[in-house]
Amino acid sequence: MLKWLYPGMRVKRWLLLALAGLLVISFGVDLLMEGRLLGDFARPIHRLEWWLLGDEYQHLAGMITMAAGLLVMARGLLRVFHSIAGALAPDQEGRMAEIIYARRSLGRGPKIVVMGGGTGLSVLLRGLKEYTSNLTAIVTVADDGGSSGRLRGDLGILPPGDIRNCLVALADKEPLMEELLQYRFTTGELAGHSIGNLLLAALTEITGGIDQAVRGLSKVLAIRGHVLPATLTDITLCAELADGTVVHGESNISHGAGLIKRVFLKPARCLPLAEALVAIRSADAVVLGPGSLYTSIIPNLLVKGIPEALARTPAIKIYVCNVMTQPGETGGYTASSHLRTIQNHAGKFIDYAVVNTGQVPYRLRARYRQEGAEPVVADLEEIEKLGITAVGEDLTQQTEVVRHHPDKLAQAVVRLIFSAKGQYEKVRYINDQQNNKEQEFTNVKI
């Protein structure tokens, strides 16, 4: 406590002011109680008050004195708060009350576990972090292409790319920090590598493991939630095609010449982190996707213990289907085809399927058609036949690519969670928020 009195702290004067205000309040209360609170200590002061004001204004003087004391004390306490806030967060001193309220309210949000990889997972996390900080992202570590694949081959570490994307998505960061972590070198020996991947690689060697590296960078970025690799085993994703051919390596699967029959891991016996199983067991909801079906979603479900944990957890299980099919993986797949594939690999545990029913603009459909992709057909009736509740909504974001809108998708997921828990007043609140945002967008467009 004495450290608060050190020179240069800039809180002593304001603490003294707050104490002075408390003393003035005490005099006011004592005046209302006709001297019974402070006794002889305040009698000389009260004699002066009575001589100046008389008995008829005693209660009024007491109330005015209390009000003045409250103002003085509030002024002192606010200045103490601003002094501390200015030292801890100089650029956000004026927003400290807003930041504290947001963090407290987010801490009371639902516990959500999100599983997957690639861009889709980070899109969902960007939306969900505005509704809860109780997030756990379980990320696939089967990637062997690009910067992640090179680092994996050169350093023998688990691929950091998808983990980096999730950390950036959950980070409470400055825009410049996000730009830095996602920056990729374009020339020289580092061409293709991102700063974030290199940073995770360095932290892995410093700390001795990718899990420790992720924890360290999570603290630096002050992320809302936790990011966990699906397993610490060095795995290879393999695919058996319809003609019996086996393709090795995640980056080669989407370039295969035939339909995928099944995917599997080598080695088959790989175990998840204990924290991942605990998060699944205590979650309110577990969300699969969005992401590549065979190379982002299913690899997590092939880790020993994950399917069993999903079958046992009381959490609701939600699958978010991709908006577009993926050439080389899910060409011609409908939404129900995605779900059947998951059931064939990991069993029947999904409760809800969130499917986009919004229209993809023609100009984007034409461009994707040239690449061999098309919108996933939302065959809601076929989904219901699988014993899964289908939820169809317009979830697309109007950009130059077809992706889920982070906020629309997060709202759809959070609504399902609150509905399952019977918290319908929160569902109405989210619906009102969405309607307000849509109205604002319409007004701006007009």
Residues 426 and 378 in one domain: yes
Tell me how far apart the alpha carbons of residues 381 and 53 are, in angstroms, rounded to a whole number: 83
Residue 109 maps to a domain: yes
The predicted-structure confidence for 347-382, as pLDDT tens digits, reads as follows 999 999 999 999 998 889 999 999 889 999 999 999
> Is the same domain home to 78 and 114?
no
Q: Does residue 136 carry a pLDDT above 70? A: yes
Residues 30, 60, single domain; the answer is yes
Based on the fold, state whether residues 27 and 129 are members of the same structural domain. Answer: no
Work out how many domains the chain is built from and give that number.
2
Residue-wise pLDDT tens digits, 220-234: 888 889 999 999 999
Same domain, 355 and 319: yes
Regarding whether 132 and 23 lie in a shared domain, the answer is no
**What CATH number does the domain containing 349 carry?**
3.40.50.10680
125, part of any domain: yes
Tell me, yes or no, whether 388 and 303 share the same domain. Answer: yes
Are 346 and 387 in a shared domain?
A: yes
Q: Which of 88, 121, 156 finishes a domain? A: 88
Same domain? For 13 and 130 the reply is: no
In-domain check, residue 150: no
End-of-domain residue from the set 26, 60, 88? 88
Clarify whether residues 81 and 108 are in a common domain. Answer: no
State the pTM of this model.
Answer: 0.81
- Burial class from Cβ neighbours inside 10 Å (0-12, 13-18, 19+) for residue 252 reads middle
Any residues with CB less than 8 A from the CB of 164 and at least 6 apart, and which?
181, 182, 194, 196, 197, 200
Average pLDDT over the chain, rounded to an integer: 86
pLDDT band (50, 70, 90) for residue 88: low
Question: Quick check: is 415 in a domain?
Answer: yes
Whether 213 is in a domain gets the answer no
* Euclidean distance between CA atoms 62 and 75, whole angstroms: 20
The Cα 151–Cα 196 span in angstroms is 12
Percent of the chain with pLDDT over 70: 84
Same domain, 56 and 123: no
Contact residues for 215 (Cβ-Cβ < 8 A; gap 6+): none
Range of the domain at 437: 104-140+230-445
Q: Is 231 strand, coil or helix?
A: coil
Residues 232 and 228: their CA atoms lie apart, in Å, by: 10
Where among 25, 55, 88 does a domain terminate? 88
Q: Specify if 178 maps to a domain.
A: no
* 342 domain-assigned: yes
Same domain, 56 and 84: yes
180: in domain: no
